[in-house]
Structure 1
């Protein structure tokens, strides 16, 4: 990787395994019915820290000394070993049981911990294109186990701390709990959030193929045996040398959206209604219309598609009121799906599209929906199941099969500013989730500036990104360190 003639290289300097500081009894942690809806997927998250500046006393004398990379590494490893006592699932490994379902073997096999060095300064990191600058360089590749960690030192004294974890074991809410506890342990040697692994909280109500059909779970989820075979992909000799590769691949980009733009969008989405739509509803509706519009033009070969599907990820912790789920560790997610005709989406006003999305969330994001989903999975076990909208991508639906699909997962509760390991708040942090298939993935997160702006991670097909950057360049602005420094 080069920028302005400067070589930007990252070199691994050390690998080791960090285990829980206390010996743990081997324990098999079953996966809940909601865990079983996740295919093998790895999720990454990274945090950027600038060099710690030591403030002088009024008389000009320096107080203490800034931490060195070696001291930060030692603090990260020792606190990780301690926090793994509570978050023991992250020190285990996923294995298949006798009926070929995944379970987590909590055997304290440990976490892969990688140390690395970057040959450039942190301010030159290309945040806009994480595929090139972050993936495979600053993010650890999980070789084994459930969790991997990498800490990278930059020439300026800055550091990036990154994690990659198995989505079958934890959702983003669970990962955020872990990150908060790890940072807290590193600062103060204590943990205030104790994770709950009680799988009985998500036990099914019914057995033997009993579940409420009227809630439409069959339209949102599917067993793997029900999936049609994937269409054959053309051989390399049959593909166009340029357009073929670009059209079939998804790329990741990170943008900034200002608070004023979000407020304007919310006002447009709330036109003519008594109750204001949320910013997430307005944003998701805007993107739904935008991607529908991209199908009606020549977007590098995407072609004329008939329908556009949007999936909204809903966390069930606040919906399942029969128990306190606030510290539950695992997956408590459902993806609600809306599908509309592409040409009709383009013609409808934003407020109409937002009303459709609002109704979907209002009627489906309920406790009964999550209980029915748990029952649905039980009725189909041990056969593997998954969300239909992800299946659209694995079938190649986004590449010209008559439909286009993307998922919006809110990261607005991402506790970026609280991940302080003792050398200050991160100047930036983001999830990175190139999840495969051809279904897009979008995650809005709060800006580290705490000014109401959003940071938006997008993982979409190249033609969709090209269209968005042409059509809405005023709205989605490529993120860079100038934004972070100027607004700090």
Structure 2
């Protein structure tokens, strides 16, 4: 696929889609776990081929109409996405549920789906097919392609929802579009994440999270080097056979059988280390952990909870140690990272830790800038619940879909998701330094393969 990023996108219509039923305006506090998120926006996109189902042909206008009508119905339950985040009297963000609505953009792109370089979202997606959110909690853009295909891009405020919550919304939206029963009604019961009185937290909370005031001051030299080797986004696929092979290699350590995600994370941790390095620089590896299952009780209330329920524990190893270690040994370290956050007490303690520091903003320590001269940081977030196979609004499922999160910090971000091919392969979104991605393509090109039109059968 050529580096097709030189196409134009023309906006044809802008409107605001509000919930079809009015709601009583009210303030919804962000939970303590929401407050750990800075004002970041997360994108997601889906590409659809031109579809004709039976005798029914879908035009761009009819598809856009279906999306708007079904979203207006979905927002009745998911009213948080129709609101906006404002600052309260304490100086903290709070969600005003006022049915402001969702900015909905219709656009036309002068390019065919098969000509897009989907492995390079910086060229074909960023600023073109996924909207820049200007206000509100959610923005949507649908774009007509020259071939008759359609792209749906969404951008949501991470302080309002994590990927689990966004996936709930997307699936409900698709179900309503097809007049199917909604499988999950969201819960906004913030009391599920109330701090304890008196609060209690382990000192490990200070290891993984920090007040924003503790951020190191920017270093001119590190900023200069970062600008020369900036973070970029790429999308690869990893074949199921390679995942099985990595899992087998990583499972010979002292711990229990390694999962595919643990093996993948261990391999990535090892492969980003320069082959010739004997440096004492370090690489931090963080893993996003969803706390819903850890906080679950007999009433099963957390399964439908809408908001952020995340922790990012991490471990730090020197380049030299990573270079000399076997994959199984690194996989053991990955399991130890996860074990630090699998217990209910970890999340209850994190909620109490945030309460003890309010109203000062706090954040995950791994996102704190250190500068490349000290080492590097990577965060892996499992996207295995990414509902690509369920994103059928009536005209067939998408040919391709991915999250898009060029968040702007100095920590790399990696999210593996199921492939739309449905054969056990993974689609892997990576936002990392250019040099790291070049290293991955050189040392592990047999594992990380750029997404192509041939792979997606476009």
What TM-score do the two structures reach when normalised by structure 2?
0.96
Mapped partners of 2:197, 2:277: distance in 1: 46
Secondary structure of the corresponding residue to residue 19 of structure 2: coil
CA deviation vs aligned residue, 1:423-442 (integer Å, no higher than 9, x gap)? 00111110000111110000
Residues in 1 aligned to 2:174 and 2:115: alpha-carbon distance in whole angstroms: 26
Residue 22 of structure 1 corresponds to 21
Report the number of matched residues: 456
Matched, 1:54 2:62: no
Corresponding residue for 1:164?
155
Q: Matches of residues 178-257 of structure 1 in structure 2 within 5 Å?
A: 178-188=169-179, 190-207=181-198, 210-214=199-203, 216-232=204-220, 245-247=227-229, 249-257=230-238
Alpha-carbon spacing, 1:167–1:152, altered in 2? closer, same or farther (3 Å): same
Residue 372 (structure 2) pairs with residue 399 (structure 1)? yes
Separation (CA, whole Å) in 2 of partners of 1:288 and 1:295: 16
Aligned to 2:63: 72
SS at match of 1:443: strand
Matched, 1:38 2:29: no
Contact 1:406–1:442 (8 Å) recurs in 2:
yes
Matched, 1:421 2:402: no
Tell me by how many angstroms 1:305 deviates: 5.6
Q: Is the 8 A contact 1:9 1:119 kept in 2?
A: yes
Give the Å deviation of 1:6. 9.6
2:5–2:124 Cα contact (<8 Å) kept: no
CA distance in 1, matches of 2:121, 2:95: 30
Which of 72, 75, 92 in structure 2 is aligned with 1:101? Answer: 92
Q: Map Cα deviations across residues 23-59 of structure 1 (whole Å, 9 max, x no partner).
A: 111010000000000000000000111111334xxxx
Q: Give the whole-Å Cα distance in 2 for the aligned partners of 1:115 and 1:228.
A: 42
Point out the structure with max Rg over C-alpha.
1
Any conservation in 2 of the 1:12–1:114 contact (CA below 8 Å)? yes
The SS at the match of 2:302 is coil
Structure 2 residue matching 1:431: 3-state secondary structure: strand
Whole-angstrom distance in 2 between the partners of 1:123 and 1:254: 16
Which range moved further: 165-174 or 4-13? 4-13
For residues 54 and 431 of structure 1, the distance between their equivalents in structure 2, rounded to whole angstroms, comes to 27
Tell me which residue corresponds to 1:125.
116
Q: Tell me, which stretches of 5 or more residues in structure 2 are unaligned?
A: none
- Three-state SS of the structure 1 residue aligned to 2:431 is strand
Say if 2:441 and 2:448, in contact at 8 Å, map to a contact too.
Answer: yes
Matched, 1:265 2:246: yes
Asked if the contact 1:118/1:154 (under 8 Å) is kept, the reply is yes
Match of 1:308 among 283, 286, 310: 283
The separation in 1 between residues aligned to 2:110 and 2:406, in whole angstroms, is 25
Q: Equivalents in 1 of 2:76, 2:159: separation in Å?
A: 20
What SS does the corresponding residue of 1:399 show, helix, strand or coil? Answer: coil
> Deviation per CA, 1:154-193, whole angstroms, max 9, x where unpaired?
1111101110000000000000000001111111165332
| Alignment match, 1:300 | none
Find the counterpart in structure 1 of residue 351 from structure 2.
374
In the alignment, is residue 289 of structure 1 matched against residue 270 of structure 2? Answer: yes
**In structure 2, which of residues 307, 311, 316 is the aligned counterpart of residue 339 of structure 1?**
316
Which of 401, 404, 408 does residue 432 from structure 1 map onto? 404
Q: Deviations over 1:78-113 (max 9, x none)?
A: 111111111101011000111111000000111100
Asked if 2 retains the 8 angstrom alpha-carbon contact of 1:270 and 1:351, the reply is yes
105 and 474 in structure 1: CA distance in 2 versus 1, 3 angstrom threshold: same
Kindly tell me: are residues 470 and 6 of structure 1, through their superposed partners in 2, closer, same or farther at Cα, counting changes over 3 Å? Answer: closer
Distance 1:272 1:6, change over 3 A: closer
Other structure's SS at 2:178 match: helix
Counterpart Cα distance in 2 of 1:339 and 1:419: 38
CA, structure 1 residues 295+367, in 2 after alignment: closer, same or farther (shift >3 Å)? farther
How far, CA to CA, are the matches of 2:247 and 2:73 in structure 1? 44
Q: Cα gap change, 1:75/1:480 in structure 2, threshold over 3 Å: closer, same or farther?
A: same
Does the C-alpha gap of structure 1 residues 211 and 420 become closer, same or farther in structure 2, counting only changes over 3 Å? same
Deviation at 1:285, TM superposition (A): 0.5
User: Which secondary structure does the structure 2 equivalent of 1:456 belong to?
Assistant: strand
8 Å contact from structure 2 (residues 66, 177) kept in 1: yes
Shift in CA distance, 404/3, structure 1 to aligned 2, threshold 3 Å: closer
Alpha-carbon distance in structure 2 between the residues aligned to 1:411 and 1:204: 28
Gap change, CA 1:3 and 1:453, over 3 Å in 2: closer
How far apart are the structure 2 equivalents of 1:220 and 1:117?
44
Unaligned runs of 5+ in 1: 56-63, 298-303
Cα distance in 2 for partners of 1:244, 1:413 equals: 33
1:336/1:364 contact within 8 Å kept: yes
Q: Secondary structure at the match of 2:96?
A: strand
